[in-house]
Chain A
Amino acid sequence: EVQLVESGGGLGQPGGSLRLSCAASGFTFTNYWMHWVRQAPGKGLVWVSRIHSDGSSSNYADSVKGRFTISRDNAKNTLYLQMNSLRADDTAVYYCAKEDNWSDAFDIWGQGTMVTVSS
């Protein structure tokens, strides 16, 4: 079964750090771009970041540039999001998503992990 499972969410302090993980299974992880998308409580979807299949290239939304770092370990079939200098407006459910090579669509999504930034 094709699956993405996020973990690492929880309570973070303003100015603090958290690292999210996304474990992939059921497909050849090394072949695909991977993304993080977040959704603040009661709000819409917001794209956060993406990383090339081999980790050589990445892009970020302006709102997280310089604070968040996306990475991957293809040997472990795992995607990461290192979140530093956390702010209250980073509070959201964070989804990882797989990008289909042909359609460029986000065809597989994880169930999400909740990050709450509060003192």
Chain B
Amino acid sequence: QSVLTQPPSASGTPGQRVTISCSGGSSNIGSKFVYWYQQLPGTAPKLLIYKTNQRPSGVPDRFSGSKSGTSASLAISGLRSEDDADYYCAAWDDSLSAWVFGGGTKLTVL
């Protein structure tokens, strides 16, 4: 059971906008930055969003992150087939003195 809670699956058609949620608590999302990682099938994870809403160079602006209270969200607009992947949220947890990940959301582009 993950400390951060994500829906196990999400889906959308090309061009649509989808949102993936990540719910935590006061010791992690509520007081810390949130990070998002994308994992394509059979590959290592890749950084997608850092410090809650910042994109590394090379990540399209179709991807955006936000946070409200103890929940965070990843939004993907203009959905493309190559976005078909697993997405993980992560944050430092002050109570555990550990990094915690969400259980992951498998995004299917129909």
Q: Which residues from chain A sit less than 8 Å from chain B, CB to CB?
A: 35, 37, 44-47, 50, 59-62, 95, 100, 103-107, 109-112
Chain A residues, CB < 8 A from B35: 104-106
Residues from chain A with a CB closer than 8 A to the CB of B92 are 104
> What are the residues of chain A within 8 A of B45 when measuring CB–CB?
37, 45, 95, 106, 109
Across the interface, do A45 and B88 meet the contact criterion of CB distance under 8 Å? Answer: yes
- Interface class of chain A by DSSP: strand
| Residue in chain B with minimal CB distance to A65 | B98
> Which residues of chain B come closer than 8 Å to A100, judged between CB atoms?
50
Expressed in whole angstroms, the minimum distance between the Cβ of A104 and any Cβ of chain B is: 7
CB distance from A64 to the nearest CB of B (A): 11
**In contact, A103 and B54 (Cβ under 8 angstroms):** yes
SS class of chain B's interface: helix, strand, loop or mixed?
A: strand
Take A104-B92, A105-B50 as given contacts and tell me if A44 and B99 are in contact as well, using a CB distance cutoff of 8 Å.
no
Taking each of A45, A106, A107, A111, which has the highest tally of chain B beta carbons within 10 Å of its own beta carbon? A45
Interface pairs (28), CB distance under 8 Å = A35-B99, A44-B102, A44-B104, A45-B45, A45-B90, A45-B101, A45-B104, A47-B98, A50-B99, A62-B96, A95-B45, A103-B50, A103-B51, A103-B54, A104-B33, A104-B35, A104-B50, A104-B51, A104-B92, A105-B35, A105-B50, A106-B45, A107-B47, A107-B56, A109-B44, A110-B44, A111-B44, A112-B44
Q: List residues of chain B with CB within 8 A of the CB of A50.
A: 99
Q: Which chain B residues lie closer than 8 Å to A106 at the CB level? A: 35, 37, 45, 47, 90
Tell me how far the C-beta of A76 lies from the nearest C-beta in chain B, rounded to whole angstroms: 22
Q: Does B100 contact A (CB under 8 A)?
A: yes
Q: Determine if B101 and A47 form an interchain contact, defined as CB atoms under 8 angstroms apart.
A: yes
